[in-house]
A and B are shown apart, each in its own frame.
Chain A
Amino acid sequence: AQSVTQPDIHITVSEGASLELRCNYSYGATPYLFWYVQSPGQGLQLLLKYFSGDTLVQGIKGFEAEFKRSQSSFNLRKPSVHWSDAAEYFCAVGYNNNDMRFGAGTRLTVKP
């Protein structure tokens, strides 16, 4: 059965520091992988997605993610966090939008 695990429920980083959010997946075939961000009271916004090809994917707002098949991981990174990045981040895996499984999310707090 396909599933997504985000091991960190809550992460706090200082503004300007680097960030890595972890995501591990279990899927029967090569999956499509996504990272979404959700600000309080808002819907989900797609940050980036991986389908095939280059395993390092660039997204919006300076985020990137790397697909590592051997580790079944798709970690999200940002070299320098801004206060406006504070939000909930969701990793998702699937083929179609109706087959998408989301992780439980990681809440990011940014310290000034």
Chain B
Amino acid sequence: DTGVSQDPRHKITKRGQNVTFRCDPISEHNRLYWYRQTLGQGPEFLTYFQNEAQLEKSRLLSDRFSAERPKGSFSTLEIQRTEQGDSAMYLCASSFTGDTEAFFGQGTRLTVV
């Protein structure tokens, strides 16, 4: 296992289009997190899953955002009707339940033009 992987690494999209990102966590990890990082800021928590259950969503996650983890393995984050303010790095992380160390992927950089 090479760690948390995210696809794509970069995405440029036009305003109003939908985009979907994928995260493959470390295989034995049951928790999966999504963060957003804008330029000059630290990561901000968006949502997390324990297995296939989405247990918490930040108020940053507007109704245009949806995340799934259908089989408790990989996860997708979809943004509908993208806006320029959605331009950011989207980071995925995974961990064991109760383990405070999360391992981060390299992120997907989204640019909305």
Contacts and interface: CB of A to CB of B under 8 A. Distances in A.
Contact of A98 (B42, B48, B105): B48
B44 A102 contact: yes
A44 B55 contact: no
Interface string B97-111: 000111111110000
Interface residues of A, number: 24
Interface stretch (A14-22, A64-72, A89-97): A89-97
B42 A41 contact: no
A51 B45 CA distance: 21
Given A98-B48, A98-B55, A44 B33 contact: no
Interface of A: 4, 9, 32, 36, 41-46, 49, 51, 90, 92, 96-105
22 contacts: A4-B42, A32-B100, A36-B104, A42-B106, A43-B93, A44-B43, A45-B104, A46-B101, A46-B102, A46-B103, A49-B101, A90-B42, A97-B33, A97-B102, A98-B33, A98-B56, A99-B45, A100-B102, A101-B42, A102-B44, A104-B41, A105-B42
